[in-house]
Structure 1
Amino acid sequence: MVTDGLPGVALAAEPAEKNIMEQAPRPPDQSLFAGGLIQQIVIPGILMASAAFVLKLIAISKNFSVSTQQTMIFTMLCIVQLGNALSVRTVKPMFKSSPLRSPTLLLTITLTIALQALLLYVPLLRSIFKIEKLSSQSLLLTVAVSLICVVAIELSKMFVNSKWGPGKQELSPTARQTRP
């Protein structure tokens, strides 16, 4: 709830991109999911699941307890969801768009990270959520895998936009029929 709810509200308050009105409208007979939207949903999901699997394998190889492994994956998913919120806010690459454009999103990301830290390091909260305190090694591994996953999501977004993004949308069935 925290990793999706707060950033989702902040994204709703995000100012529109400057050139949004210069983009051609979607043809009326074109699917809402055209233009690479399916790929922009499925690929990050696959990358997140893959990162969780890889992190689990690393944690097993380091002989971390099962509860520590679960906490690492829980924390990784929190971090990756926050990175994904930064990624989906624009069709441009994340690093080409100022994060200061949306102070509300930055505030919610900071708040979410603080809440995650409280969950990890306040004994009462750990016992309620049945998670473990992460050692510096397990936290470092978790953050590293999370950041690699966020970079992979951003690279996949750039690839999808280069193939199906704005200005490269597939022809609608009607347009295909009328083309010579």
Structure 2
Amino acid sequence: MLFTSIFNLPITLLPTQILWVNLVTDGLPAAALSMSKGDDTFMRQKPRPRDESIFAGGLSKEIILRGFAIGFFASLSFYLPIMKGYDIKTARTVAFATLVLSQLIYSFECSTPKRNIFNLLHGSLYLLFSVTVSFVLFLLVIYIPQLGIVFEVSCLGFLEWMIIIICSLFPFLLHSIFAKNI
């Protein structure tokens, strides 16, 4: 959003779409993660020093890099359809879907300390249920015409879903390949 404003480019996501991501795509999985069973080894670990930041151990770097990766690929998923001649509404829908799917994938990664491709589905049933509900609600927004009007989205076809899936998986795959804890 910042770069589109700076470079006077079309806005990637509309306020209603950003609100949807914050409430449904982030909210439901976050609630499920709070109800998930914790790491069994957590209480056997040494206590952290009192003055240690919550962002110690590279967490701030991971947050920044993951945020940048998701933002970059969501933006890329916006500009690819535009370069192919799609209208801006479809391009926004693709970017919206990419952000939603990326966030849902990331919620699985947050469910386990070993955030890599082999531990993706380690999450609880609560998490699986919340991600499924979030995704189904998102599909309803796209494919029910009345909701599509409210959120200013278009129905998506096969090619658009391929862009979404590829751009949504890239942050996860890059992290799995380059993370130090694989």
How large is the Cα RMSD of the aligned pairs?
1.8
| Bigger RCO of structures 1 and 2 (CA < 8 A, at least 6 apart) | 1
Share of identical aligned residues, percent? 29
Query: Where in structure 2 are the equivalents of 1:60-71 lying within 5 Å?
Result: 60-71=82-93
Distance 1:88 1:122 in 2: 31
Larger Rg: 1
Maintained 8 Å contact 1:86/1:94: no
1:51 matched to 2:97? The reply is: no
Residue equivalent to 1:167? none
Residue equivalent to 1:7? 29
Quick one: which amino acid aligns to residue 93 of structure 2? T
1:121 matched to 2:143? The reply is: yes
1:107 matched to 2:129? The reply is: yes
Residue equivalent to 1:88? 110
Maintained 8 Å contact 1:87/1:94: yes
CA deviation map 1:83-105 (0-9, x unaligned): 11111112113444373650000
* Runs of 5+ consecutive residues of structure 1 not aligned to the other structure: 163-180
Maintained 8 Å contact 2:90/2:154: yes
Point out the more displaced range, 49-58 or 35-44: 49-58
**1:97 partner SS:** helix
Distance 2:54 2:65 in 1: 17
Structure 1 length-normalised TM = 0.81
Quick one: which amino acid aligns to residue 48 of structure 1? I
Distance 1:70 1:21 in 2: 45
Q: CA deviation at 1:155?
A: 4.0
Distance 1:71 1:98 in 2: 26
Point out the more displaced range, 137-146 or 4-13: 137-146
Structure 2 length-normalised TM = 0.80
From 149, 166, 173, the counterpart of 1:144: 166
Residue equivalent to 2:94? 72
Distance 2:148 2:34 in 1: 31
1:26 matched to 2:48? The reply is: yes
**2:39 partner SS:** coil
Change (3 A) 1:138 1:98: closer
